Structures are given as C-alpha cells and as structure tokens.
C-alpha cells in the first residue's frame, strides 16, 4: 500500500550493482529520499531460479513497504525479469519500476547493426528478454553474452583487479572491433564500463539507468507522489551483508 508523497523510494538489487541506477535517479530526482538495499549475501541472482529470485524480491519489497516506501525500484535486470510482473499483480496500487537491458536505445541508434547484449544467464533465458529482442532488435543482429562470474568479481569491490579484465577479455574480447554497440544488461556492469569499452574496441555502451530514472520521475508525477521541491532529499544504504565495511563499499561505489 502506498504511503503518499512523504514516503521514501525503496531501491534494491542483488548487490551493489543497483547503485549505478541509484546515481541516475538521485540526479533526476534530487528532492526524493532513497533507501537502497543490496542483497549481497544472496548475490549473484543470475545463478538462481526465477522462483528463488521472486521469493527473495518479495521479502525485500514487503520489508521496504513496512518501513514506509511509496514506490519500489527493482534496480536489477535479473530480478525485474523474474519478479516485476508477479509483484505488480500482488501490489496493484504500488508503483514498481524495473530495469531492462537498454536494447531499445541501442537499436534505435543502430537499427541494422550488430549489438552485443551483456547480461546474466537468467536475464537472457527469461521470456521478457526474448520479447524485448522481438520488439526492438528484430532488424539488428543481437548477440547475447551471458557474463557468468562477472557480478561475483564486481561485488568484491576491487574494480582494478586483473581478474575483471581477464574475464572480460574472455567473454567479450572475441567481439573486439566487430560490434556497433554494447548493451550493459546488468546494473553491475556500468562500474566496469571503461574496461568493457576498451576490451570491445571503443563501441558505444548503453545502460538502463537514465531511462529508469526518467520513468520513475514520470510515474511519481502521474500519481502525485513527487516530493516537495523544497525537500532536501537523502540517500541511505543497507545490505544483507550487514557490516560497516560493506556499507562503506556501497557508499564508495555511490560516490565514484
């Protein structure tokens, strides 16, 4: 149940990846109160079944609602694909905004191009992604790449680790110089965007963060749920790995 414009915006991800979306949302809506929850103890979601992801997501949404959320942002492509539709049926009055791989803007920019879509295996396997490809990528050559292991490395927090570069060389190095665009279909990947761009040979990257922030803005406005223009806005973090160092890591990712 929605609590009106004074409530906060509950944002969650399987871990710290959703902080990339959070940054875009704070830039778009600086007067809102955001509360980010990272389920790092259960990451990666990309190796889990859709049922498992739905039950983890359901528990997070329930808790954020109990705490006073007026809207929920699923800042995770995998959890959006697995859980957004059932959660919207369970909470028909609650604004629930999801993230999906930014194939639409990539295909609009390169309608007949070769478009690499990097995502978790679950995101790529679920029907939502097949529908996205049919809708926006039917003229393009869409090349899905399941980036198994990448979320685990990013969750460790050392973005300059040689393991990240060598895994990316293995996953997307073979496409170097041969693709027109790369879609970052997991909210963790923008944190290693520079390495990805380098490994694929400079192709433009597309992620869903800004589109999600704009959509959140539209939905809040349409429902009369925007915070007052004089409200100071705030951001807070919590995690299922509830240690000071984990929260400090989230803060560092938010600020970088």
Angle between helices 162-172 and 193-200 (to 10 degrees): 40
- Which of 13-21, 25-33, 64-72, 224-232 is the region at the interface with ligand DGL (rule: CB under 6 A)? 13-21
From 19, 43, 72, 76, the catalytic residue: 76
Pick out residues in 60-119 that bind ligand DGL (CB under 6 A): 76-78
DSSP notation for 175-225: GTTT-SEEEE-STTGGGGHHHHHHHHTS--EEESHHHHHHHHHHHHHHTT-
Task: State yes or no: is 147 an active-site residue.
Answer: no
Task: State yes or no: is 186 an active-site residue.
Answer: yes
| H/E run at residue 242 | none
- Give every CB contact of residue 242 below 8 A, 6+ residues apart in sequence: none
Q: Is the link from the previous residue into 39 a cis peptide, with omega within 30 of 0?
A: no
Binding string to ligand DGL for residues 127 to 166, with x set by CB under 6 A, is what? ------------------------x---------------
- DSSP for residue 12: E
Q: Is residue 239 within the footprint of ligand DGL (CB under 6 A)? A: no
Structure tokens at 195: 């390495």
Pick out residues in 20-59 that bind ligand DGL (CB under 6 A): 43-46
List of E strands, 85-138: 96-97, 114-119
- Which of 7-15, 60-68, 190-198, 217-225 is the region at the interface with ligand DGL (rule: CB under 6 A)? 7-15
Total interface residues for ligand DGL by CB under 6 A: 17
Q: Minimum CB separation from ligand DGL for residue 219, in Å? A: 20
Q: Which is nearer to ligand DGL, 76 or 115 (CB)?
A: 76
Q: Which residues of the chain form contacts with ligand DGL (CB under 6 A)?
A: 13-15, 17, 43-46, 76-78, 120, 123, 151, 186-188
| Catalytic annotation, residues | 76, 186
């Amino acid at each position: 149940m929605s609590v009106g414009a004074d409530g906060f915006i509950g944002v969650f991800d399987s871990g710290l990846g959703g902080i990339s979306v959070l940054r875009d949302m704070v830039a778009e809506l600086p007067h809102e109160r955001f509360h980010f929850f990272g389920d790092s103890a259960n990451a990666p979601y990309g190796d889990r079944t859709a049922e498992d992801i739905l039950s983890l997501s359901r528990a997070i949404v329930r808790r954020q609602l109990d705490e006073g959320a007026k809207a929920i942002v699923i800042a995770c492509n995998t959890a959006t694909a697995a859980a957004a539709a059932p959660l919207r049926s369970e909470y028909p009055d609650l604004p629930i905004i999801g993230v999906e791989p930014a194939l639409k803007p990539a295909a609009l920019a390169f309608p007949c191009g070769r478009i690499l879509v990097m995502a978790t295996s679950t995101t790529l396997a679920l029907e939502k992604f097949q529908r996205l490809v049919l809708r926006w990528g039917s003229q393009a050559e869409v090349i899905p790449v399941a980036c198994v292991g990448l979320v685990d490395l990013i969750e460790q927090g050392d973005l300059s680790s040689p393991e990240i570069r060598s895994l990316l060389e293995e996953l997307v190095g073979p496409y170097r110089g041969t693709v027109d665009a790369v879609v970052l279909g997991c909210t963790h990947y923008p944190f290693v965007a520079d390495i990805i761009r380098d490994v694929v040979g400079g192709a433009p990257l597309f992620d869903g963060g800004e589109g999600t922030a704009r959509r959140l803005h539209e939905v809040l406005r349409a429902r009369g749920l925007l915070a007052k223009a004089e409200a100071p806005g705030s951001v807070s973090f919590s995690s299922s790995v509830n240690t000071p160092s984990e929260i400090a890591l989230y803060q560092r990712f938010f600020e970088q």
